[in-house]
Amino acid sequence: MWYLLQMTTDKKILVAFDFDHTIIDGNSDIEITHLCPDGKVPQDIKDKYSDRSWTNYMAAIFKHIHEHGKTAEDMMETINEIPLTEGMTELLQFLSQDPFEVIIISDSNSVFIDYSLKHYKLDCVSSVYTNPATYDEKGLLKIEYYHTQDWCDLSTVNLCKGHILEEHIKQSGHSYQYVLYVGDGSNDLCPGLRLSNSDYLFPRKDFSLWKKLNVAGCLDGGTSELDLKAKVVEWTSGSQVLNVCKEVCRDSQLQGNKV
């Protein structure tokens, strides 16, 4: 965990983001595979893929493209070409003020996220929780598990987003009036299920999380098979998340005035 911004008030609104297909409008790992010769992943590397851990697969990709002459600069250029999702610039600009705290919880890696944060000057992000990655002395990108977990069947072995969200809340020293979680993938369901009835879950429309919630009946106000307490707001643009952020900010200020 690392910090870019010192918070100034005790009462906060926490906004947690996924990274791929959420802050950026693409998948950083998939884009990096295009650096393979002819843009094709060899079959022996494909065979390493497991839906329980994407990280080992990507480690093999990094080794393969390094062996074929791709450098850190090539990878940085590839990541920086991925645009921000529509409306995300305006949303993150709004969240740069009190009482908001912005964090990222992602199954990407620290190098790729750092590239994007610096490229787009997203200095409102106070903490990033992801798989640590570094370049070795030969220029090979090495990636490690964020942690190894066996307690959550909704998550990959290397990263349980719900556990990370809860740990951040416990260790932050803040009493959050609201927690908002913005994501797109299946692994964003776990943190969503840990939100309270005053919180908000934002699934990106037509992506995996949205599809799971739709099948479970969480999007139409009907009876759901999931124990989901948070308010669900689907989104296609950051502007829809921004509208809710403005609402909860006003509510927070009104509550503060009553104290």
Q: What is the set of active-site residues? A: 18, 20
In Å, the largest CA–CA distance within the chain is 63
Distance CA 213, CA 29 (A): 25
Three-state SS annotation for 115-160 = HHHHHCCCCCEEEEEEECEEECCCCCEEECCCCCCCCCCCCECCEC
Place of tokens 């740069």: 96
Distance CA 237, CA 204 (A): 8
Residue 98 near residue 9, CB atoms below 8 Å: yes
**C-alpha 9: how far from its chain's center?**
24
**38 phi and psi, to 5 degrees?**
60, 15
Q: Centre a 10 Å sphere on the Cβ of residue 93 and count the other Cβ atoms it contains.
A: 12
- DSSP annotation of 205 reads T
Distance CA 24, CA 32 (A): 14
**C-alpha 166: how far from its chain's center?**
15
Token pair belonging to 155: 């998550």
Distance CA 217, CA 165 (A): 24
